[in-house]
Amino acid sequence: MRGRSTVPGLLVAACLLGAVQASAGPLQPTAPATAPAAGPAAGNRLDGAERAERPDPADLGRGLRYFRAGTLETDLASLAPALASGPLVLDLRAAQGDAVSTARLQELLAQRPPAEAANRPLFVLLSADTPAGIRAAVPAAPAVVTLGCPGPGFEPGLSVSTDPARDRAAVAALAGGRPALDLIVEKLDKPRYDEARLARNHANGHRANDQQESPAKDKPAATSTSAAPAPEAPVQDLVLQRAVFLHRALLALGRLPQKD
């Protein structure tokens, strides 16, 4: 089942920036966005340039970075510079920590000056599996948006409709070292149809747009009557994907400094 936000991305972006402006004053004007306006097409895939492999696994493109906290006692040392670097996705879905580290997390998040936070939104990923103390450490502050799959006793600021098991699979993949960008970019599995194949089809008398070979001539006969198992659905992080789309919406609205 494909995830759908319960609140349209652009509406949430406008509300988010409205809250920031109310508390921190008007944002500095930025150049008009050159990206196409967010819409159904923009909401289903990332820009083609963003599909290229990135050497930095924390780079989500356009100035947005990803930080996953697993064990707070060891990971919080790197959180402060990450918070100061720019817009950030902070993934706390699998975070664990004692009372001291949880208090330190709350302190770090509360130290963000509102005026500076206007250009550095923080997207916090949570889940019903996140300890309640860690969820409570995330402040209800301007430019802070919590996202997640709702569950028993947990309702994020922005709900993403997805199967909890699918969300856990994505969290496990990230914990296992999968780059975050791999889980949010749709990979198209299309047969290649290049000039060589076009020439071959033309020589064989096939139509130019005939991309399928004759099953009788080019494919071996089936040797078994049993149906092949359906391919396993690829792991996709719909919660992280929604945070990235929200960041792109803010850029498209001209609310954030443009990044290449």
* pLDDT lower than 50: segments of the chain: 1-8, 10, 17, 19-44, 48, 51, 188-191, 211-216
User: Can you read off the two tokens belonging to residue 258?
Assistant: 């443009």
Q: What's the CATH number where 167 sits?
A: 3.90.226
Could you tell me if residue 136 is inside a domain?
Answer: yes
Residue pointed to by tokens 């944002």:
27
- Phi, psi angle pair for 120, to nearest 5°: -135, 70
Chain centre to alpha carbon of residue 40: 16
> Which residue shows structure tokens 């936000």?
5
Q: Where are the beta strands (DSSP E) in 3-157?
A: 4-5, 59-61, 64-68, 88-91, 122-127, 144-149
Query: Cβ(162)–Cβ(239) under 8 Å?
Result: yes
- Kindly state whether residue 205 falls inside one of the protein's structural domains: no
- 52 falls within a domain: yes
CA-to-CA distance for 3 and 238, rounded, in angstroms?
A: 6
Q: Quick one: pLDDT at residue 107?
A: 95
* Residues constituting the chain: 260
Residue 112 and residue 125 in contact, taking contact as beta carbons nearer than 8 Å: no
Domain enclosing residue 119, as ranges: 4-187+235-252
Return the structure tokens found at 62.
């356009």
Q: Cβ distance 93 to 169 under 8 Å?
A: no
Comparing CA positions, the residue from 105, 66, 68, 102 lying closest to residue 87 is: 66
Task: With respect to residue 260, please indicate whether it lies within any of the assigned structural domains.
Answer: no
Tell me if 213 is assigned to some domain. Answer: no
201 belongs to a structural domain = no
pLDDT number for residue 233: 62
Residue 134, pLDDT score: 97
Within-domain flag for 56: yes
CA distance 7 to 92: 22
Backbone angles phi, psi at 148, to 5 degrees: 175, 175
Q: How many domains does the chain have?
A: 1
Kindly list the distances between the CA atom of residue 67 and the CA atoms of 174, 212, 219, 248, in Å, as whole numbers in the listed order: 11, 44, 48, 18
What local confidence, expressed as pLDDT, does residue 258 receive? 79
Per-residue pLDDT, 37? 40
First CA to last CA across the chain, in angstroms?
A: 32
- Supply the pLDDT for residue 89: 97
Q: What share of the chain is helix, strand, coil (3-state, %, to 5)?
A: 40, 15, 50
The span from the CA of 132 to the CA of 61, in Å, is 31
pLDDT at residue number 169: 96
Q: Is 133 domain-assigned?
A: yes
